[in-house]
Amino acid sequence: MGLQNQDTIAWVGRRCYLRRLENHEGQHLAMTEKLIVLGLESSCDDTAAAVVQHTVGCDPEVLSSVVWGQTDLHAGFGGVVPEIAARAHAERLDICVEKALEQAGLLLGEVDAIAVTAGPGLIGGVMSGVMCAKGLCVGSGKPLVGVNHLAGHALTPRMTDAVGYPYLMLLVSGGHCQFLGVYGPDEFKRLGGTIDDAPGEAFDKTAKLLGLGYPGGPLVEQEAAKGDATRFKFPRPLLDRPGQDMSFSGLKTALRRARDLIIDEKGGIAIQDRADLCAGFQLAVAETLGEKTRRACEVFKQDVHTQKPVLAVAGGVAANTAVRKRLHKVAQETGFSFLAPPLKYCTDNAAMIAWAGLEQFRMGLQDDLTLSARPRWPLDQSAVPMLGSGKKGAKA
């Protein structure tokens, strides 16, 4: 399976055992049963809790979704400070849970299970969420479901639009960028991904290089709307090579060099220079993602042979208008239906965690109190790590 260490083996083994036990005892959670799941998310800089309800044959219902952002805490540092984020999560999680239950009109004892992001992410934040969820489970006697944060994003189209399996997902965010074939609640096949920086990270670093502030993605997009995207000829990384893998580190470097040349020539950067740099950078990202997505669509069609394939996109960068338009165009040209969930479910939220936990719990998957927080956790365990590996396992 390409597992990286004994902790991973033990974790997967425990989950498989619990699943077999449920199946053996005939407790596979009757498919007509209504399930209500409380979800917790704390993998980066958004503290969130949500309640999701689903009855088979009906559309999922998000009964509540509370997201408490930390932008004000990190803005002065130009990026997320892990120690500050972890402390904020620890202080806010119980408040978010209380508000989510109140908005849903439920007591904790009325939910069927508690799902929590168990990784990947900033370890302090993930630990805060896992420990809070364990405490809630001990106090209420409810089952615990550890959810992969990436699975939450990948399964969001099923929560928002009831998409059937299988479908192609482009998960594109601040820390991740992958093409995934989604075949089930815990069955994913990676078709490609970034070998270095994720697009969201490149957006944030671009904003920092140009003095735009944090978070960088929306600010770069605002500036790009006022700029000339053809003025600077930025590279489209890895388009000269076959496959679906991507790279954005060199693009960020190219922008820095263009900025430095302007400074050398003019002694500074004018407002229009900055807008043109942002526009050129954004176009390069959109076109790179578009071409790589075209290739992923062709590979996916050959793999599944479905009549109506679906291309879905999720993650923070999916909120970028230029990226969405490019992906929509590629989907039309390759015969795919295009789906981008509502913006509030593209960025980090707990509704997606509750939904992923609900789908997995319905299958009989759950965890015990030995569930550990994991800074790294590839969705496709059989794929060769793209970003290397260490004592804590594969990065991606």
* Confidence tier at 294 by pLDDT (50, 70, 90): very high
What CATH number matches the domain at 167-343, 1.10.238.10, 3.50.80.10, 3.30.420.40, 1.10.10.10? 3.30.420.40
What is the pLDDT, as a whole number, of residue 387? Answer: 58
Q: What is the 3-state secondary structure (H, E, C) of the chain?
A: CCCCCHHHHHHHHHHHHHHHHHHHCCCCCCCCCEEEEEEEECCCCEEEEEEEEEECCCCCEEEEEEEEECHHHHHHHCCCCHHHHHHHHHHHHHHHHHHHHHHHCCCHHHCCEEEEEEECCCHHHHHHHHHHHHHHHHHHCCCEEEEEHHHHHHHHHHHHHCCCCCEEEEEECCCCEEEEEEEECCEEEEEEEECCCCHHHHHHHHHHHCCCCCCHHHHHHHHHCCCCCCCCCCCCCCCCCCCCCECCHHHHHHHHHHHHHHHHHHCCCCHHHHHHHHHHHHHHHHHHHHHHHHHHHHHHHHHHCCCCCEEEEECHHHHCHHHHHHHHHHHHHHCCEEECCCHHHHCCCCHHHHHHHHHHHHCCCCECCCCCCCCCCCCCCCCCCCCCEECCEECC
Q: Between 131 and 346, whose confidence is greater? A: 131
What is the pLDDT, as a whole number, of residue 104? Answer: 98
Mean local confidence (pLDDT), 203-209 = 93
Mean local confidence (pLDDT), 273-301 = 96
Task: Determine whether 233 is exposed, middle or buried from the number of CB atoms within 10 Å of its CB (0-12, 13-18, 19+).
Answer: exposed
Domain 6-162+345-394 and domain 167-343, same fold? Reply is yes
Structural class in CATH, domain 6-162+345-394:
alpha beta
Asked whether 300 and 168 are in contact (CB, 8 A), the reply is yes
Each residue of 336-386: pLDDT tens digit? 999 998 989 988 899 999 999 999 999 999 999 999 999 988 888 887 776
State how far the Cα of 198 lies from the Cα of 317, in Å rounded to an integer: 10
Q: Is 176 a residue whose pLDDT tops 50?
A: yes
State how far the Cα of 282 lies from the Cα of 276, in Å rounded to an integer: 10
Q: Is 91 a residue whose pLDDT tops 80?
A: yes
Mean local confidence (pLDDT), 17-38 = 58
What type of residue is 373? Answer: A
Q: Which of 5-19, 29-43, 108-122, 201-215 has the lowest mean pLDDT?
A: 5-19
Q: Is 88 a residue whose pLDDT tops 60?
A: yes
* Confidence tier at 152 by pLDDT (50, 70, 90): very high
Domain segments of the chain: what residues?
6-162+345-394, 167-343
State how far the Cα of 338 lies from the Cα of 161, in Å rounded to an integer: 11
What is the pLDDT, as a whole number, of residue 5? Answer: 40
- Geometric angle at alpha carbon 150, from 148 and 154, rounded to 5°: 115
Question: Residue 262 CB: number of other CB atoms within 10 A?
Answer: 18
Q: Is 4 a residue whose pLDDT tops 80?
A: no
